[in-house]
Chains A and B, each alone.
Chain A
Amino acid sequence: MKQHLGRQSGVQSVEVSLVEGRVEITPKDDGKIDPAQLIRATYDSGVTVAEMQITARGKMVKDSSGNLALQTAPNQSFAILPNEKSKGLDELAGSTTVVTVHGELYKKPPGKKKAPPSLPLRLELLETPKKG
């Protein structure tokens, strides 16, 4: 799995902890990494992703449905699930303010052991976003 993930576009390095069942991925400096592709690649290597968390910088935008999203690249954005931590982000939508967020992008539905990952991904903030 480590080698399979390491071959994915935008991946700098992969650290695997067998004991904890944790995989840490460091993106290349250009940041062009696709979390959905990583989940699919993990699933293809016979391992189930129970949870994925990311730390990302980007600007707040409104998607075509009017939902708040974090844009991390011109062609990449993640819808934000409204919660306590996301309060106030609406005001930044459409501005050039860059925020750094840490949140959960994917969580396996309970009860399903080998279900393929459901996409699209939505970002649930775990910490209050920081400006800059």
Chain B
Amino acid sequence: MTTRKLALLLLLGAALPMIAQAQIQHVEMRVEGMT
């Protein structure tokens, strides 16, 4: 049981930094027909 909890913690520990780091940082559009 303890081993399973430890494995789950390790998995979350590895996944969370990736989720936190991965993202769209900036978006730029060139548009036409804007007044």
Residues of A with Cβ closer than 8 Å to B? 1, 16, 18, 21-27, 30-33, 35, 38-39, 42, 46-59, 71-74, 96, 98, 100, 108
The distance in angstroms between the C-alpha atoms of A51 and B23, with both chains bound, is 20
Whether, in the assembled complex, B18 has its beta carbon less than 8 Å from a beta carbon of chain A, the answer is yes
Q: What is the bound-complex CA distance between A80 and B30, given in angstroms? A: 21
- Asked if residues A52 and B22 are in contact (CB atoms below 8 Å), the reply is no
Tally of A-B Cβ pairs under 8 angstroms:
107
Which residues of A have CB within 8 Å of B14?
96
Is the Cβ of A38 less than 8 Å from the Cβ of B29? yes
Contact A31:B26 (CB < 8 A) given known A1-B34, A47-B31, A50-B32: no
